[in-house]
Amino acid sequence: MELKQMRYFLALAEELNFGRAAERLHMAQPPLTRNIRALEEELGTQLFIRTAKGADLTEAGRALLDEVPNILALSRRAEERAQLAGQGYTGQLDVGIFSSGILNVIPRLLADFHTERPEVKIGLHNMSKSEQIAALRERRITIGFNRLVPDESDIGVDWVQREPFLVALYEGHPLCDKKTVTLRDLDNERMILYPNAPVHGLAQEVTSAFRVEGVRLRVEQEVEDVVTCIALVASRFGVSVTTESAVNLRLPGVVYRPLKSSQLREIELSCLYRREDTSPILLAFLKLIRSSRSKKNLPRH
């Protein structure tokens, strides 16, 4: 029994007149009659009794009428769900994040995506850079966010946002009186670096900049994340070179000043994903990222 036959049967069962049912279905009467007869032959039972006024349902017809509307409704629901999934309006978006990245643009992007596609479930996974790359290859996440992402042949990388470097100081530090801070100002200051990961990251960028500019780097603490770093600054353990998004932590006792450096100007937040992934959800999220980026009138590569 085909869905088309069910639709024909339902129209006739509700109209009880071949002419009116054919008109409702936007078809001629003879094809409708042939399809109903074919359905009766397939089921091996009569569904309608032909009358002078049109047709009446048999007991078999009434039994079928109890089921057909539900079947057609399920069919429509299945079609709609398949179409929505094919367009990226249902499904799962698993996102790899890292500590400081969640302080700024990422929550806004996720909120906008949820508003556009509320039926897509969003899963957040706190991961290091190397963990994100491994999770992408193992298909445990759809997209990741990080900085200073290494070149990998199977991993696509696109930039999301550029933000300037700042220096985080504790209240009362002499450098709080300056409008901007240079690396030379940080010569032999007690520095807190993050993250202390084996892959190249912000800590390595800062270390390299101190070396290139000929400034002594005195490392007081190496920590895993920005939250710990800024908390240590607030506790007067030292100062730190960080990014603009750290300001959103709003920890008391911390003062931020712009960093003036030939080596440390801006740092990119990037998204990373599998190059081969053409899933509608990923493509829709990448489109949102690029649209958000263009609205800010940021220069392109």
Question: What confidence score (pLDDT) does residue 298 get?
Answer: 46
* Residue at which a domain ends, from 61, 86, 111: 86
Residues 274 and 260 in one domain: no
Instruction: Give percent of the chain with pLDDT exceeding 90.
Output: 82
Residue 95 forms part of a structural domain: yes
Residues 145 and 186 grouped into a single domain = no
Among the candidates 66, 86, 106, a domain finishes at: 86
The verdict on 180 and 53 lying in the same domain is: no
Band of residue 54 on the pLDDT scale cut at 50, 70, 90: confident
In a domain, 300, yes or no: no
CATH value at residue 26: 1.10.10.10
pLDDT, tens digit, 9 for 90 and up, residues 244-279 = 999 999 999 999 999 999 999 999 999 999 999 999
Cα distance between residue 63 and residue 261, in whole Å = 81
Domain's final residue, options 50, 71, 86: 86
Structural domain of residue 81, as residue ranges? 3-86
Q: What is the predicted pLDDT for the residue at 294?
A: 67
- 121 belongs to a structural domain: yes
Instruction: Judge if 140 and 286 occupy the same domain.
Output: yes
Determine contact, residues 242/230, Cβ cutoff 8 Å: yes
Please indicate, yes or no, whether residues 194 and 272 belong to a single structural domain of this protein.
no
**CA–CA dist 273, 267 (Å, integer):** 19
Q: Which of 6-20, 89-103, 227-241, 287-301 has the lowest mean pLDDT?
A: 287-301
Judge whether residue 84 has pLDDT over 90. Answer: no
Q: For residues 283 and 139, state if they share a domain.
A: yes
| Residues 19 and 100 both lie in one domain | no
> Mean pLDDT over all residues of the chain?
92
The answer to the question of residue 239 being in a domain is yes
301 is a domain residue: no
pLDDT score at 204? 94
Quick check: is 74 in a domain? yes
pLDDT in tens, 232-246: 999 999 999 999 999
Number of domains in the chain: 3
Q: What percent of the chain has pLDDT over 70?
A: 97
- Judge if 169 and 261 occupy the same domain: yes
Q: What average pLDDT does this structure show over 11-19?
A: 94
Same domain, 187 and 249: yes
Q: What is the pLDDT of residue 12?
A: 94
pLDDT above 60 for 301: no
Q: Is residue 185 part of a domain?
A: yes
Q: What is the CATH number of the domain that holds 231?
A: 3.40.190.10
Domain identity same for 251 and 290: no
Residue 14 lies in a domain: yes
- What pTM was computed for the model? 0.71
Residues 44 and 184 in one domain: no
Least confident of 88-92, 167-171, 184-188: 88-92
Shared domain check, 242 and 127: no
